[in-house]
Amino acid sequence: MLNRRLQQELPEEVRSRLTTLSLPVLEDLSEALLDFRSLDDLENWIAEHG
């Protein structure tokens, strides 16, 4: 869903960081991604919640 929302493939570094997130955090991410407009939005969210 993130690839589609951001209209680009995620860099390997970002994908690696996503695999370390717990299930509750991933559930929160599934809602938050609706507000993302760029890869920076995702990276900032991960920095705050990951």
CA torsion through residues 25, 29, 16, 50, sign: negative
Q: What is the mean pLDDT of the chain?
A: 96
Domain range for 33? 2-49
Q: Give the pTM.
A: 0.88
**How many folded domains does the chain comprise?**
1
pLDDT band at 14 (very low <50, low <70, confident <90, very high): very high
pLDDT surpassing 90 at residue 50: no
pLDDT average, residue stretch 7-19: 96
Separation of CA 13 from chain center: 11
- Cα–Cα distance measured from residue 24 to residue 7, given in angstroms and rounded to the nearest whole number: 25
pLDDT average, residue stretch 25-34: 96
